[in-house]
């Protein structure tokens, strides 16, 4: 059985690479998907369709193009990992978590203990809260491989 894992959220640290690398080392049958994590490319996703003079509509257009990808990836995934860093608003990560919750997709949150309180609604609908990528790897290994 192959597992499809969607990695959502923070793009400023290498948590995705750590998880992907760790799962590869553990030889887990996982396919990972993710939003485009190149910040500038993501912001410019809609530019190919023509320039916009308004910031709102440029963002809007790019966000919708990105959503073609992320909505499809979330709907296909078996598990999502949603990462919140200590900087930035990351409303898109919370949005993805809500999207998963409504679809009944199990998700794991990944964040440090100092933001437990503002994330309580997001965590309460999650299947697990991890603090390190290593914990996520171990969870995935257990979920997929334990007998």
Residues 80-109 binding its own copies (CB under 8 A) are 84, 88-104, 106, 108
> Residues binding its own copies: what is the number (CB under 8 A)?
82
| Angle, vertex CA 144, rays to CA 19 and CA 80, nearest 5 | 50
Stretch 11-30 residues interacting with its own copies (CB under 8 A)? none
Name the residue nearer to its own copies (CB basis): 27 or 88: 88
CB of 64 to its own copies, least distance (A): 5
**Given the structure tokens 């996520």, which residue do they identify?**
136
| Per CB under 8 A, 49 contacts its own copies | yes
Distances (CA, A) of 27 to 38, 137, 140, 147: 27, 11, 11, 16
Q: Is the separation of the CB atoms in 97 and 125 below 8 Å?
A: yes
Which one of residues 45, 81, 83, 133 is an interface residue with its own copies (CB under 8 A)?
A: 45
Q: How far is the CB of 25 from its own copies (least distance, A)?
A: 16
Among 59, 81, 83, 85, binds its own copies (CB under 8 A): 59
Question: What are 102's two structure tokens?
Answer: 């409504």
Q: Which of 11, 60, 10, 24 is nearest to 140 (CA)?
A: 24
């Amino acid at each position: 059985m192959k597992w499809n894992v969607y990695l959502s959220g923070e793009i400023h640290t290498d948590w995705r690479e750590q998880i992907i690398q760790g799962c590869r080392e553990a030889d887990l049958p996982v396919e990972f998907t993710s939003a485009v994590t190149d910040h500038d490319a993501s912001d410019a996703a809609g530019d190919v369709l023509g320039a916009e003079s308004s910031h709102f509509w440029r963002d809007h257009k790019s966000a919708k193009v990105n959503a073609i990808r992320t909505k499809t990836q979330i709907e296909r995934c078996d598990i999502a990992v949603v990462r919140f860093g200590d900087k930035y608003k990351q409303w898109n990560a919370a949005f993805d978590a809500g999207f998963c919750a409504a679809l009944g997709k199990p998700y794991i949150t990944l964040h440090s203990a100092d933001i437990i309180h503002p994330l309580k609604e997001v965590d309460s609908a999650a299947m697990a809260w991890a603090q390190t990528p290593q914990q996520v790897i171990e969870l995935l290994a257990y979920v997929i491989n334990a007998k």
